[in-house]
Structure 1
């Protein structure tokens, strides 16, 4: 490659990830269509793996076991030897650590992705082999809240330079979401019932306890059915809390479901009552796509995703009274509920579209290698 060609051509990118989701996969495909030479190393067990194979983007299947995976590092190093890659884009800490090790001794630019707040510290040795590693050129943050969190990390004179941080929202497309609303009768829910859906992993920070308490705070004439979707059904403490609730017969544990978006689409309201550390939760985005108004807490990137009183309602975290008030308001005002749902759908279509993610990522890559 001549110097002139190098200054005008688009850089070759090696993306390292695990079982990539739809937005991630479509970003890779969008970059390829934009003219970038993009190869992907990802987990062959991922739902979108075959789609990437079909468009010729999988360089090697890889499933990294940890941040020191010798076999994985060797596979990445082998791939780097096959092409003049100028950028590695790593989408999780394991991929980042292994990519940094595999590319040691090269001048390849390293881009890291960060989707959550927390677990990075100047006092944590593992942070120095991932996001705080001096060879990391950029950290792409999925929300401004994550970018602000990283910008405020300090220890003595140490901090992450602002120039290393960039917010790029993970993009979506309404056409990806074609699921039919689920039949909720298996949970004893009738067509005329008012349903609140909450999807999340079994972790205390998701605030399931606050939501169950909010059910107790609702007036007696507000009859709401609550669907708790995910592995929270294995949490005995939460199950006991629900059993003691005055609304226990209307609290339903679905367990892990592959059709979680269909359950949200069949609901009247979607609630995510997280206490801390959220990025841009996929479950909230999916509910918004289906026109289901969200109620979220003022945590992490959720207030960026949901405009209070416009595309949903935002309440303080760990406040069951405020949470109950938001649910009651949407229960009693069908017109307002429909208005928020429509605005939520339009917000994802307009402000969080995959085309914008492709454009911003393209500009980032070109700026890293000095091309415009």
Structure 2
């Protein structure tokens, strides 16, 4: 069985690794893989070392006649059984390129929301009649999307992007770099400044914590130098204990030095990589129940789940872990174990191989 994947691997190594290694693992399940991506993507060498043929191309626009023609030619010459698009540029062009060809089309859906059957833009991508299967990153994404799909709802399914604990062996960053004193209880939050990431909720939570507690907050992500962020910091009773790291490529190593990881997102999450990275380093996570975030943890065992926007519950979760350091440590260890046992890359490759085979054979 032969599969063509069209995706961009221009992001950082750690960002693309779970997807790329899952795909490489398909070989063990009898699927021959070829990848279409940018020729200067860092992961190209890894693909080639593992015997994966790389087509040095990626669409630059959502609709491009040149891209459609190129993809169609590759599909015809390669006699692929299936093609799998991982982003909107890949998906839209592939839907047109595959018209009339005996190839199954799979698409990747990485978050909840923003697609409805009454909105015509959705028919350029996942809702296009040419799409045979939609593979979601989390069960929450699948549940969100199923009502928008016409016909067989089973065309929407879930395959988690798994990880390998061996990938994560960085030495935790010394947080004194950010002015955090030794012995402080540190809450870390890794998120770029976007409305749905819930920074105002997180900052409001700081007003709920005891003023004399040795608790510090470290914000990691792009956009943290904006005036509105500084205004929220200035208004917080924790003003002197809130620290900005900005965008950092070593974000996983930074969060590894924290006691707690907090994701305050209010909507439209997929399967947050930042939560997974905290968990593999044994850092107890507090996550809002949006998208697949809550699927990553067992509430009260390997993390704490709160309702989106629930400032009081977030503060209570922080104080629970602050007051019981043994619980905090144990929850972090359980979090690491949960990723290793339930969200591993070998499992993901196996699950994806089954989805591809079932799709090609019409068994869904």
1:87 corresponding residue in structure 2: 82
1:170 aligns with 2:161: yes
Alignment match of 1:131 (pick from 126, 130, 138): 126
Q: Is the 8 A contact 1:132 1:160 kept in 2?
A: no
* Deviates further, 67-76 or 127-136: 67-76
Superposed counterparts of 1:110-189, under 5 Å: 110-153=105-148, 159=150, 161-189=152-180
Query: In 2 relative to 1, CA 285–301 (structure 1 residues): closer, same or farther, beyond 3 Å?
Result: same
Paired residue secondary structure (1:73): helix
Superposed displacement of residue 160, structure 1? 5.4
Superposed displacement of residue 56, structure 1? 3.4
Provide, for residues 64-90 of structure 1, a one-character-per-residue CA deviation record: whole Å limited to 9, x for no partner: 222113333233223223211010011
Superposed displacement of residue 45, structure 1? 4.4
Alignment match of 2:252 (pick from 239, 261, 272): 261
Alignment match of 2:226 (pick from 213, 216, 235): 235
Q: Is the 8 A contact 1:42 1:58 kept in 2?
A: no
2:55 corresponding residue in structure 1: 60
Superposed counterparts of 1:11-26, under 5 Å: 11-19=1-9, 21-26=16-21
Q: Is the 8 A contact 2:222 2:247 kept in 1?
A: yes
Provide, for residues 227-254 of structure 1, a one-character-per-residue CA deviation record: whole Å limited to 9, x for no partner: 1111131432122111221211111111
Provide, for residues 136-167 of structure 1, a one-character-per-residue CA deviation record: whole Å limited to 9, x for no partner: 111111111111111233xxxx7353221111
Paired residue secondary structure (1:323): helix
The number of residues matched between the two structures is 358
Provide, for residues 89-139 of structure 1, a one-character-per-residue CA deviation record: whole Å limited to 9, x for no partner: 111121111111122221210011111001112222221011001111111
2:351 corresponding residue in structure 1: 360
1:343 aligns with 2:334: yes
Residues of 2 paired with 1:219 and 1:248: CA distance? 13
Residues of 2 paired with 1:279 and 1:367: CA distance? 24
* Deviates further, 41-50 or 255-264: 41-50
Structure 1: give runs of 5+ residues left out of the alignment. 1-10
Q: Is the 8 A contact 2:76 2:101 kept in 1?
A: no
Q: Is the 8 A contact 1:30 1:355 kept in 2?
A: yes
Q: Is the 8 A contact 1:288 1:348 kept in 2?
A: yes
Paired residue secondary structure (1:67): coil
1:324 aligns with 2:315: yes
* Deviates further, 67-76 or 120-129: 67-76
Q: Is the 8 A contact 2:211 2:238 kept in 1?
A: no
Superposed displacement of residue 371, structure 1? 8.9
1:33 aligns with 2:28: yes
Superposed displacement of residue 202, structure 1? 1.5
* Deviates further, 256-265 or 117-126: 117-126
Structure 2 length-normalised TM: 0.94
1:309 aligns with 2:266: no
Residues of 2 paired with 1:371 and 1:139: CA distance? 14
Paired residue secondary structure (1:89): strand
1:69 corresponding residue in structure 2: 64
CA RMSD of aligned residues (A): 1.7
Superposed displacement of residue 323, structure 1? 0.9
Structure 1 length-normalised TM: 0.92
Superposed displacement of residue 203, structure 1? 0.7
2:199 corresponding residue in structure 1: 208
Paired residue secondary structure (2:91): helix
